[in-house]
Amino acid sequence: SVNVVAFGSERDGFSEDSQRPSLIRSYLGRSALVSQIDSSSSASHVGNPVFNEYQACVFGNVKLVVHDCPVWDLFDSDWYTSRSLIGGADIIVIKYSVNDKTSFQEVKDSYVPMIKKALNHCSVPVIISALGARKNGVPCTCPLCTSDRRNCVTTSEGIQLAKELGATYLELHTLNDFYIQKYFGGVLEYFMIQTLNQKSSAKMKKREKTQKRRRVQPPQLEQPEKMPILKGEASHYDADLHNLLCCCQCADVAFYPEDLSTVVEAHKIILCSVSHLFMLLFEVKSPTDIRDASIVQMAQSLFAVEAGATFSPLPRSVPPCVPPVKVVVKDSVFCSCLPDILHFIYSGAFQWEQLEEDIKKKLRDPEKTEHVLEKVKCILKTPGKLSTVKDCRPHQIKQLYSTSLRLFFNTPVLADVIFKIQGATVPAHRAVLVARCEVMAAMFNGNYLEANSILVPVYGVSKDTFLSFLEYLYTDSCCPASILQAMSLLICAEMYQVMRLQHICELYIITQLQSMPSRELASTSLSIVSLLKKAKFHNSDCLSTWLLHFIATNYLIFSQKPEFQDLSVEERDFVETHRWPSELYLKQLADYRSYVHSQKCHCAVM
């Protein structure tokens, strides 16, 4: 239903047309949307009606109740009744005549504040209707007519009143069909529709709230247990190479001063990986390959290789423990700083400021210091990059050389060991293997057959896996092509006790499995249980623990696979204990589905 309360009169106090129908009665009688009108009057005493009550149907079957109060005395005589009318109103209509300014002023000053107080900030739509055509005749000069009634209520005054109440302002010049049905009726019917929508929405919310209280709630699915976090291990690539210099294992180069009083040992593979000058010196490259006269000239003026030294790959008949190649350093000042320079090179050749500081402390001569540093820049120079070493500044040093051993990976250049695997041969360099792998360091330096052999057989791994393993030793990086290849590389890393590589493979396997969608996980031929068995057998505790949690978290998928039966009793107990979703939740879900089916209602959650 919609309740409308109307206050005020359309006629001024001196109008002779007292039989003219009211605005509300005219709308009810002319509107095509209103039917079944019934009216009655309420009076404070006989012959003095306080308000007229109309009941009708609107929009077909919506009950419309209208209380029309033509006089404002109700607010003075019965404040309780007037407040009750306003409190129950869905729409309020205030009427006044544009030719009765006295009544308008009284309404504005006395009764509008009462209406605002009764509304108490409620969002009830208010319609202010200014009725009649303004009379522009000459004002009356009678002493009894000296009040403000001689002036009409202006449009601006009506609009200002509407602003105070937050109301809609209408001017109805006459009560014809246009103003009654189209103008006033259109606004009133709009507010009726808004009121019905609000009531319908409130009723729906109340019904949903009641139903929600009565409805049996579905079981709450808890989040699965958090997987154990596997932390990576920091790289110790530079430290491994620096330790190789300190222990001097597998050294194949010996630097001497011209008086042969001291010796500094090093490794050709490390020196050639950072310097084209050393590649030229040890005949890895020819002057034609270098194409830089400054490097060639520096190599000839700074070093002299002992006559008869050979730099070609060792034949299989030559024993590996050949004497180091002797290199004479012609510059005595440079030779005195050679240990610091080699420490700089073996540490990754990027701590240039530290090298400068060390040489300054040793020489205590700015000219000699600059002299040595310029030669180091030339040693690290990339052919064709700079015309003179004087143009090279310290912050540019990193751009002038390559510290990567990748150039010598799986190449016979400078190789001193050959691995035989699956009928193929793989060349390598003992210095790199000893520096990067403790097992190989023991194998090549202990009382083992491999220590005195050029050809070393490898069993238990494939050629591709072993090449990936060697690539990590040379470059400190690896990129498995698949989960199975990562597992094979993990087994190889465990065999040679390279723990960081083992952790990298574990992280790769975990990352790939985590990113696999449930549909792919259900259809894949990859056996997670087989991975679990291998991880346990090869002492990969972190990966095996994570895989057990992974199987438990995806219990509904793995429990349907044949491989699930291959789990041990202990593993099965762990999975059943930590399974997700839990058995209790599935039972609660089945009970809830049975309840929904019995109630013959549809559950949006399901």
Give the number of residues written for the chain. 606
Interval 242-299: pLDDT, tens: 899 988 788 999 999 999 889 999 999 999 988 899 999 999 999 888 888 889 999 9
What single-letter DSSP state applies at residue 346?
A: H
Euclidean distance between CA atoms 440 and 449, whole angstroms: 12
Sign of CA dihedral 514, 518, 519, 524: positive
Q: Of all residues in the chain, what percent carry a pLDDT higher than 70?
A: 84
The reported pLDDT for the residue numbered 398 is 42
Pairing of strands 34-45, 48-58: antiparallel
In 335-451, at which residue ranges do the beta strands (DSSP E only) sit? Answer: 417-421, 424-428
Euclidean distance between CA atoms 49 and 371, whole angstroms: 119
Q: Please, which contacts does 308-315 make with residues 24 or more away whose CB atoms are closer than 8 Å?
A: 311/268, 311/282, 311/283, 311/284, 311/414, 312/283, 313/412, 313/413, 313/414, 313/415, 313/416, 313/427, 314/415, 314/416, 314/454, 315/454
Interval 298-357: pLDDT, tens: 999 999 998 654 444 444 334 455 688 999 999 999 999 999 999 999 887 778 888 999
- Looking at the DSSP bridge assignments, the partners of residue 64 are 2, 56
CA geometry: angle at 204 spanning 200 and 205, to 5°? 120
Interval 68-85: pLDDT, tens: 888 887 777 777 777 788
Mean pLDDT of 440-448: 86
Quick check: 281 and 300 in contact, CB under 8 A?
A: no
Euclidean distance between CA atoms 298 and 281, whole angstroms: 10
DSSP 3-state of 49: strand
pTM greater than 0.85 (yes/no): no
Mean pLDDT of 485-499: 96
pLDDT above 70 for 393: no
Mean pLDDT of 190-198: 87
**Residue 505 is encoded by which pair of tokens?**
């493979």
pLDDT above 90 for 422: yes
- Place 67 in a pLDDT band, splitting at 50, 70 and 90: confident
Euclidean distance between CA atoms 248 and 242, whole angstroms: 10
Q: Of all residues in the chain, what percent carry a pLDDT higher than 90?
A: 39
Domains of the chain: 2-38+48-134+153-203 (3.40.50.300), 236-307+322-402 (3.30.710), 515-605 (no CATH)
Find, among 30, 38, 387, 289, the residue nearest to 183 by Cα: 30
Pairing of strands 325-329, 303-305: antiparallel
In 208-298, at which residue ranges do the beta strands (DSSP E only) sit? Answer: 253-257, 264-266
The reported pLDDT for the residue numbered 319 is 45
Calculated CA dihedral for residues 597, 601, 603, 606, nearest 10 degrees: 30
DSSP string for residues in 418-443: EEEETTEEEEE-HHHHHHH-HHHHHH
Find, among 42, 87, 91, the residue nearest to 69 by Cα: 42
Interval 152-161: pLDDT, tens: 888 888 888 8
Interval 494-553: pLDDT, tens: 999 999 999 999 999 999 999 999 999 999 999 999 999 999 999 999 999 999 999 999
Q: Does residue 581 have a cis bond before it (omega within 30 degrees)?
A: yes
Interval 214-227: pLDDT, tens: 566 777 777 777 77
**Residue 464 is encoded by which pair of tokens?**
């591709």
Highest mean pLDDT among 198-207, 443-452, 531-540: 531-540
Burial class (CB in 10 A: 0-12, 13-18, 19+), 308: exposed
Interval 33-42: pLDDT, tens: 777 677 666 5
The reported pLDDT for the residue numbered 330 is 94
